[in-house]
C-alpha cells in the first residue's frame, strides 16, 4: 500500500471523527436546549401552581392538608404514621377554581337569627359535570378559627374575581311559554343560583309578543354584562333578533348586521328548546344557569331572512314546505297540549303531503370563515359575488331547510342539521325532493334513530353561505287551508301577513307567512350565547307518531 493511500485513509478517518464530534456536539446542544425549555416550562407551571395558601381543614370527619394555588384547591387526608413507617399514599381531592361559582363563610346560626354566630369554616359552591349536565355541588371545609377562615375566604374570593363572569344581567321571562312554567322555573332553579353567585338582575316579565323587542330597543344596555331569556324558542328568536337589531342601531347602520357584544343566556322553558339544547346539550335550567354564572361563552352564526329587499328577521333556522306547513297546522290548534298539537300537525301534513314547485339557488360556503365585513358588503347586493357562483335548481321539493346551528333537541339528539357547527360561518341546506310518502317517512324516521337521513337519492345537502327560495306555485297556503277545512276563525296571526298567496315558513319555530322569494344569508358569529359546542343532546323523549 502506497504512502499516498495511507495519507488519504488517515485524512478520511480524521474527517469522519471530526464529523462525528460535530454531530455529537449539535446533538448535545439540542438536548441542552430541550432541557432548558423543559425547565422554563416547569418553572412557569410552578409559578401558576405555586401555593398561595396552605392550611388544615376538616372535610367530613377527617383532617386534611389543604393547598390553594391560582387555579385549584387540593386536599389530602392527614394520616398517622403506620407502625412500620411505610408511607400511606392518599389520592388528593381537587377542585378547579374555574368551576367554583361562590364561596361563603359558614357559621353556626342560633335559632331564629339571620346573621352572626360562630365561624365553622368555608363553603365552596361548584359546578360539577354529569354527562352534559352541570350540577351544583357544595364542598365544606371546616375550621373554627375565624381568622384562618376569613383569610381563606378573602383569598378565594379575590381569585374568583379574576374570571370573566357576568355581574349584572337583564332578564326577560315569557310567562306564557309552553306550560306557563317560566316564572316558576326561574324562581325555583335560577334565582337562587344567581343570588349565591352575586349575579344581580333586572327582570322584565313580558306581557305580549314584541314586548322584549321594544324593551331591548330602548334599555340602557351598557349597564349589563349579559341578557337572559327564560322561555321557549319563540322567545329566544325574538331576543336574538332584538339584540342584533340593537347592535345595528347602536352602530348607526340599520341596514347591516352588526355583532352584538353582550352574550345571551337561555333558560329553557319551552316545549322543544332547540337553541338552548344546541349550546347546552340538555334541556335543563340549572345547567343553563351555571353556564351563565361561570361565563362560558360560545360564538354562534346567525342568518338573516329577506323578502323583496326587506329584512324579515334574524334567526338560526328556517323550514319551507313540510316544516312550514306542519307548523301552520299546529298553530291553528293552539288550544291542544303542545305534544298532541305537534303530533296532530305532523300526521295531518303527512296525510296531505304535497311538493312545492320552486326555484332553489344557493351559494356554496367557502372553506375559510368569512369575516363580518365581507358579508356586510355582500348584504347590499346579493348578486355581487357574481351569478356564476350561485347554483340554481328548479323542481318539486317536499321540504327545504336551512340551519346555521345543528338544532339539537331531546327529540332529535344529533340535530336536524348534524353537519352544522355553531360557529363555522356556514349553514346546512337540506333539500328533500319529491318522493313517495313512505320514502319521505323513512327519511324523517332516521332523524329520530341514528343517522343516514341524508342517504336517499331524493335528499341533497350543501354547506352554504346564502340561499334563495322562489316559490313558483300561485296557490299559497291560505287558499289551500281555507279549502281544506274552512277553519279561518281559528287561524293564528303570523308575523308577516301578505296580501296575495302566502307560504308558511317555520323560522326558529315561529310561523311567518311570505308570498314572495326569500333570501337567506349566513352571518358568521353574529351573536354570543352562554354555553358551549356540543355534539349530541341528551335524549329524553321519542316521537311515536310516525
Residue closer to ligand ATP, measured from CB, 325 or 342: 342
The stretch among 14-22, 96-104, 207-215, 350-358 that binds ligand ATP (CB under 6 A) is 207-215
In this chain, which of 69, 143, 260, 272 binds ligand ATP, going by CB under 6 A? 272
Size of the site for ligand ATP (CB under 6 A): 22
**Should residue 232 be labelled a site residue for ligand ATP when binding is judged by CB under 6 A?**
yes
Cβ 122 vs Cβ 157: under 8 Å: no
Q: Which residues pair with 141 in a beta bridge?
A: 122
Residue closer to ligand ATP, measured from CB, 208 or 220: 208
Min dist. Cβ of residue 266 to ligand ATP (A): 10
Select from 235, 132, 242 the least CA-distant residue to 182. Answer: 235
Residue closer to ligand ATP, measured from CB, 305 or 440: 305
Cβ 270 vs Cβ 179: under 8 Å: no
What's the distance, CA 540 to chain centroid? 19
Rounded CA-CA distance 355/432 in Å is 9
**Should residue 409 be labelled a site residue for ligand ATP when binding is judged by CB under 6 A?**
no
In this chain, which of 67, 75, 233, 277 binds ligand ATP, going by CB under 6 A? 233
User: Looking only at residues 26 through 55 of this chain, which bind ligand ATP when binding is defined by CB under 6 A?
Assistant: none
Residue closer to ligand ATP, measured from CB, 174 or 260: 174
Residue closer to ligand ATP, measured from CB, 233 or 463: 233
Min dist. Cβ of residue 506 to ligand ATP (A): 11
**Should residue 207 be labelled a site residue for ligand ATP when binding is judged by CB under 6 A?**
yes
**Should residue 271 be labelled a site residue for ligand ATP when binding is judged by CB under 6 A?**
yes
Cβ 509 vs Cβ 233: under 8 Å: yes
**Should residue 98 be labelled a site residue for ligand ATP when binding is judged by CB under 6 A?**
no
**Should residue 338 be labelled a site residue for ligand ATP when binding is judged by CB under 6 A?**
yes
Residue closer to ligand ATP, measured from CB, 136 or 238: 238
Cβ 437 vs Cβ 349: under 8 Å: no
DSSP string, 419-476: T--SSSS-EEEEEEES--HHHHHHHHHHHHSSS-TT-STTEEEEEEEEEEEEE--S--
Rounded CA-CA distance 286/266 in Å is 11
Interaction pattern, residues 146-185, with ligand ATP; x per rule: CB under 6 A:
----------------------------xxxxx-------
Rounded CA-CA distance 343/274 in Å is 17
**Should residue 276 be labelled a site residue for ligand ATP when binding is judged by CB under 6 A?**
no
Helices (H), 101-186: 146-160, 182-185
Residues 6+ apart with CB under 8 A from 491: 331, 332, 481
**Interface with ligand ATP (CB under 6 A):** 174-178, 206-209, 211, 231-235, 238, 270-272, 338, 509-510
Amino acid at each position: 500500500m502506497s504512502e499516498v493511500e495511507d495519507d488519504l485513509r488517515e485524512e478520511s478517518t480524521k474527517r469522519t471523527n471530526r464529523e462525528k464530534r460535530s454531530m455529537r456536539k449539535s446533538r448535545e446542544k439540542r438536548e441542552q436546549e430541550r432541557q432548558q425549555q423543559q425547565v422554563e416550562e416547569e418553572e412557569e407551571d410552578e409559578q401558576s401552581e405555586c401555593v398561595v395558601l396552605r392550611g388544615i381543614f376538616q372535610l367530613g370527619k377527617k383532617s386534611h392538608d389543604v393547598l390553594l394555588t391560582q387555579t385549584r384547591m387540593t386536599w389530602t387526608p392527614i394520616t398517622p404514621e403506620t407502625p412500620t413507617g411505610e408511607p400511606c399514599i392518599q389520592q388528593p381531592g381537587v377542585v378547579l377554581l374555574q368551576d367554583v361559582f361562590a364561596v361563603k363563610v359558614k357559621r353556626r346560626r342560633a335559632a331564629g337569627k339571620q346573621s352572626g354566630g360562630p365561624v365553622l369554616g368555608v363553603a365552596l359552591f361548584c359546578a360539577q359535570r354529569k354527562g352534559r349536565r352541570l350540577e351544583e355541588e357544595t364542598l365544606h371545609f371546616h375550621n373554627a378559627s375565624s381568622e384562618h377562615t376569613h383569610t381563606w375566604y378573602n383569598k378565594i374570593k379575590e381569585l374568583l374575581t379574576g374570571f370573566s363572569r357576568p355581574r349584572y344581567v337583564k332578564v326577560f321571562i315569557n310567562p306564557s311559554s309552553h306550560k306557563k312554567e317560566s316564572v316558576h322555573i326561574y324562581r325555583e332553579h335560577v334565582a337562587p343560583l344567581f343570588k349565591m353567585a352575586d349575579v344581580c338582575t333586572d327582570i322584565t316579565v313580558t306581557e305580549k309578543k314584541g314586548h322584549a323587542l321594544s324593551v331591548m330597543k330602548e334599555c340602557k344596555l351598557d349597564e349589563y354584562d349579559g341578557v337572559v331569556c327564560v322561555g321557549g324558542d319563540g322567545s329566544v328568536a325574538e331576543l336574538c333578533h332584538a339584540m342584533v337589531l340593537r347592535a345595528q342601531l347602536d352602530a348607526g347602520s340599520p341596514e347591516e348586521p352588526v355583532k352584538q357584544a353582550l352574550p345571551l343566556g337561555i333558560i329553557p322553558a319551552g316545549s322543544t328548546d332547540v337553541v338552548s339544547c344546541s349550546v347546552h346539550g340538555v334541556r335543563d335550567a340549572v345547567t343553563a344557569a351555571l353556564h351563565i354564572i361561570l361565563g362560558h361563552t360560545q360564538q354562534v352564526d346567525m342568518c338573516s331572512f329577506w323578502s323583496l329587499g326587506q329584512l324579515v328577521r334574524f334567526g338560526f333556522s328556517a323550514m319551507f314546505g313540510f316544516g312550514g306547513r306542519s307548523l301552520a297546522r299546529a298553530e291553528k290548534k293552539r288550544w291542544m297540549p303542545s305534544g298532541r298539537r305537534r303530533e296532530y300537525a305532523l300526521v295531518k301534513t303527512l296525510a296531505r303531503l304535497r311538493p312545492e314547485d320552486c326555484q332553489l339557488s344557493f351559494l356554496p360556503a367557502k372553506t375559510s370563515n368569512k369575516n363580518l365585513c365581507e358579508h356586510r358588503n355582500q348584504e347590499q347586493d346579493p348578486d355581487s359575488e357574481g351569478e356564476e357562483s350561485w347554483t340554481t335548481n328548479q323542481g318539486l321539493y317536499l321540504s327545504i331547510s336551512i340551519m346555521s346551528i345543528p338544532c339539537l333537541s331531546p327529540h332529535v339528539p344529533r340535530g336536524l342539521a348534524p353537519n352544522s357547527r355553531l360557529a363555522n360561518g356556514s349553514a346546512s341546506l337540506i333539500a328533500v325532493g319529491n318522493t313517495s310518502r313512505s320514502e319521505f317517512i323513512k327519511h324523517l324516521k332516521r332523524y329520530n334513530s341514528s343517522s343516514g337521513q341524508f342517504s336517499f337519492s331524493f335528499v341533497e345537502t350543501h354547506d352554504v353561505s346564502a340561499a334563495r327560495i322562489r316559490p313558483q306555485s300561485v296557490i299559497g297556503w291560505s287558499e289551500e287551508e281555507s279549502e281544506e277545512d274552512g277553519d279561518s276563525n281559528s287561524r293564528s296571526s303570523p308575523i308577516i301577513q301578505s296580501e296575495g298567496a302566502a307560504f308558511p315558513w317555520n323560522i326558529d319555530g315561529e310561523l311567518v307567512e311570505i308570498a314572495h322569494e326569500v333570501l337567506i344569508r349566513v352571518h358568521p358569529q353574529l351573536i354570543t350565547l352562554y354555553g358551549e359546542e356540543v355534539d349530541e343532546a341528551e335524549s329524553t323523549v321519542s316521537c311515536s307518531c310516525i
